[in-house]
Amino acid sequence: MHVPDGFIDAPVSLAAGVAAAGAVAVSLRGARRELDERTAPLAGLVAAFIFAVQMLNFPVAAGTSGHLLGGALAAILVGPWTGVLCVSVVLLMQSVLFADGGLTALGVNIVNMAVVTVVLAYAVFRGLARLLPRTRRSVTVAAFAGALVSVPASAAAFTLMYAVGGTTDVPLGKVLTAMLGVHVLIGIGEAAITAATVGAVLAVRPDLVHGARGLTAPLKLRVGGELVDAPAAAAPAAPAAARSTKKVWGAGLATALVLAGVVSFYASASPDGLEKVAADQGIDQNVTEHAAAGSPLADYGVKDVDDARLSGGLAGVIGVGATVAVGTGVFWGVRRRRAAAPDQTAA
């Protein structure tokens, strides 16, 4: 779904850039209410995890692949405002370091892949969470549904931008039909990955899932082969603020490094949904070379490293490291501004 330079004309790209900058500015303010000393480093980890999983293209159909967009996952794990920032950090790292997604199209990509996905996914998630019983299973089901709708919504947003500022003359109906058709299928993969990840975190540390805050589910014990509610006093838990996140952070970072450094080698080599549609419909006729095409990490490989497995693995590890560093720095900065705000008000 990464839009390269040349698909959308300059005026629309500029307008999207202004909209993206505004969304990021508003999200920076909103994230102050979501981030605390525990969640700030975890938000950086979420960004790094999304970067890693986006390297794992999965086959869809007819020589097409898809990959995680991550807006739904980020919004549910760390909150919608922080979620917009997480995906924006990923897109920035991909464009600048790996020449993935055009520099002039960065605003287009942030609007499509960060803003649209987060807003739609979180709206669906919250709506279903209010209707369904307050259980962990319901959170996972709502996460699946939110992620499922976010991908075709992003495809529709791209089509709208193309309708206004496309650089090629292709019938809009064909573009919309092709984009929605393939991205509905990709959305199923997005939903499965999102639900599995949210479910895994819920099983270990439900207190760290923003979308599950306030969720109260009784502890279950297996007695005689059946699950029964444990007595309230049988398993006292430490206050959420006192529980360390070091193990979760370490496990999450290790997982991201393995996915990007090892598993990514086995990802599908087929073009993703947008690339396939662009080639089939002729949208890519005016695509231009990326300004960072000469980057030593362009196309997710390390320059002058001949072994493809090693080159891709090193690039993935570097990308995860850079994303977690930049993301954590951004979110700690937001957290510190929140902590300083009362003092400034008192002064």
Give me the chain's average pLDDT, please.
91
In a domain, 177, yes or no: yes
pTM equals: 0.90
Q: Which residues of 330-347 are buried (b: 16+ CB within 10 A; e: fewer)?
A: bbbebbeebeeeeeeeee
One-character DSSP codes across 176-206? HHHHHHHHHHHHHHHHHHHHHHHHHHHHH-G
Q: Give pLDDT tens digits for 228-265.
A: 555 544 444 445 445 788 899 999 999 999 999 999 99
Residue 232 is predicted with a pLDDT of 46
Q: What is the spatial distance between Cα 9 and Cα 342, in angstroms, rounded to a whole number?
A: 44
Helix pair angle (136-165, 117-131), 10° resolution: 150
Residue 140 lies in a domain: yes
- Poorest-confidence range of 68-77, 127-136, 222-231, 233-242? 233-242
Structure-block tokens of residue 114:
């960060």
185 falls within a domain:
yes
Domain presence at residue 236? no
Question: Does residue 9 register a pLDDT over 50?
Answer: yes
Q: Is residue 345 part of a domain?
A: no
* CATH number of domain containing 306: 1.10.1760.20
Could you tell me if residue 124 is inside a domain?
yes
Percent of the chain with pLDDT over 70: 89
Report if residue 201 sits inside a domain: yes
Task: Say if CB 183 and CB 273 are below 8 A apart.
Answer: yes
118 domain residue, yes or no: yes
170-216: pLDDT as tens digits? 999 999 999 999 999 999 999 999 999 999 999 999 999 999 987 75
Residues 6+ apart with CB under 8 A from 344: none
Number of separate domains in the chain: 1
Give the distance, in angstroms, between the CA of residue 238 and the centroid of all CA atoms in the same chain. 30
Mean pLDDT of 315-328: 97
Q: What is the residue range of 27's domain?
A: 10-214+265-337
Q: For residue 144, which of 115, 130, 124, 116 has the smallest C-alpha distance?
A: 124
37 touches 45 (CB < 8 A): no
Q: Which residues of 233-264 are buried (b: 16+ CB within 10 A; e: fewer)?
A: eeeeeeeeeeeebeebbeebbebbbbbbbebb
Give the model's confidence band at 36: pLDDT under 50 very low, under 70 low, under 90 confident, else very high.
confident
